[in-house]
Amino acid sequence: MSITSTPNPIYLDHNASTPICAESRAIMSAFLNDGYGNPSSGHWAARPAKEALEEARAKVARLVGCAAEEIVFTSGGTEANNLAILGTWFSRRRKGNHIITSAIEHDAIRAPIRFLKRLGARVTIVPVDRFGRVAPESVRAAITDETCLISIMHANNETGVIQPIEAISQIANSAGIPMHTDAAQSAGKIPVSVDALGVDMLSLAAHKMYGPKGVGALYVRRGQKLESHNHGAGHENGQRAGTESALLTAGMGAACDAARLGNYENVRHLRDVFWELLSERLGDRVVLNGHPDHRVPNTLNVAFPGHVGADLLDQLDGVAAATGSACHAGCVDMSPVLIAMRTPIHVGMGAIRFSLGHQNTITEIESVVERLVGIV
């Protein structure tokens, strides 16, 4: 199947989704033939599926440094976030009705919180600085006697900026408040340990780390109570009803193993070369969005002041990247993340996110830079 008719396409949108790695493809291909059994059944046909499911659970657990029984498989990062947020609120709302989150969260966090507001939840949205980082003290200041959950993402999907989750978790733990982080954009790119981070819940998405779409996981610290919002049989220790896909979980487990053993240093080098070439060629006509150091190694969010990022991307035929802006009825709205960072509108409207992956090359980066310089 041909994905694009454009000659020599360049994929720089790995924060949206990644290609499936060889390890995932191999284990999933093998499972297509005889992995059809239901993992919850008790007969011979179920045994391979059950074994594959639990092996995958152990691999995911190894990636984040937890016990296998603390991993709940979901349909993806969005469901993992919903389970953490809705499950915590419904299980604790009699003790407290207040949620703290940040101004730069993904819609998979913002939307379930908006839903809970309609049910009476009170929400505090803490700001970020101009680099896109949450100040731990702003979280401490937002805590009340009614706070039942703190949810702050680990790394931002647009800027790649890494949040000080360790410090925020210390504040949450000392106040006895469950702490959740969305690690979909950090796991597999930088070391992620639930104990080092100090979190009670952590969300993962397989397709952000070279695994298949349609599967994710939520780490739930032993003893943390969640009210399931997916009702049926008692799958996943009663946390998430629905027959598990041994095929997809096996693919996720293989991707987690590959991510644990791999590294992103080559990708970091390409990302840094990308920025150096742009800044050398364009000077103050290009601006870095986000923190210069506290970023995941594959993400470069840059703005071209006076331009519109979507228009620039239209001229970069064959280059897959993203803007973070919303387009509707012929109008373009600036990214809410950049608004939260107080980025001037003439800068923020010209933003493009380039997110690199293992298969990218220096030749591709040089080609994109050359074309961008010509356009700008």
Ordered per-residue pLDDT tens for the chain, 376 residues: 545 556 789 999 999 999 999 999 999 998 887 777 777 677 877 788 888 899 999 999 999 999 999 999 999 999 999 999 999 999 998 889 999 999 999 999 999 999 999 999 999 999 999 999 999 999 999 999 999 999 999 999 999 999 999 999 999 999 999 999 999 999 999 999 999 999 999 999 999 999 999 999 999 999 998 987 766 656 677 677 576 789 999 999 999 999 998 889 999 999 999 999 999 999 999 999 999 999 999 999 999 999 999 999 999 999 999 997 655 445 678 999 999 999 999 999 999 999 999 999 999 999 999 999 999 9
Class of domain 22-261: alpha beta
CATH numeric code, 263-375: 3.90.1150.10
What's the whole-model pTM score?
Answer: 0.94
The residue length of the chain stands at 376
Nearest in space to 139 (alpha carbons), one of 187, 85, 192, 175: 175
Catalytic residue among 66, 148, 327, 331, which? Answer: 327
d(CA 59, CA 303): 38
Burial of 51 (0-12, 13-18, 19+ CB in 10 A): middle
Cα–Cα nearest to 132, from 342, 318, 304: 342
Q: What was the pLDDT predicted at 80?
A: 97
Instruction: Determine the pLDDT at residue 326.
Output: 56
The answer for 237, left when phi > 0, alpha when psi is -120 to 50, beta otherwise, is: left
Take residue 209 and report the two structure tokens written for it. 């780390």
- The conformation of residue 292, written as its DSSP 8-state character, comes to S
The pLDDT of residue 327 is 52
pLDDT (0 to 100) of residue 35: 72
66 is catalytic: no
Q: Please give the structure tokens belonging to residue 161.
A: 């900026």
pLDDT of residue 242: 74
Instruction: Say how many C-beta atoms besides its own lie within 10 A of residue 336's C-beta.
Output: 17
Query: CATH 3.40.640.10 residue ranges in the chain?
Result: 22-261
Q: Do the beta carbons of residue 160 and residue 294 sit within 8 Å?
A: no
- pLDDT in the model for residue 328: 45
Domain with CATH 3.90.1150.10 in the chain: 263-375
pLDDT at residue 39, as a whole number: 78
Residue 329 pLDDT? 46
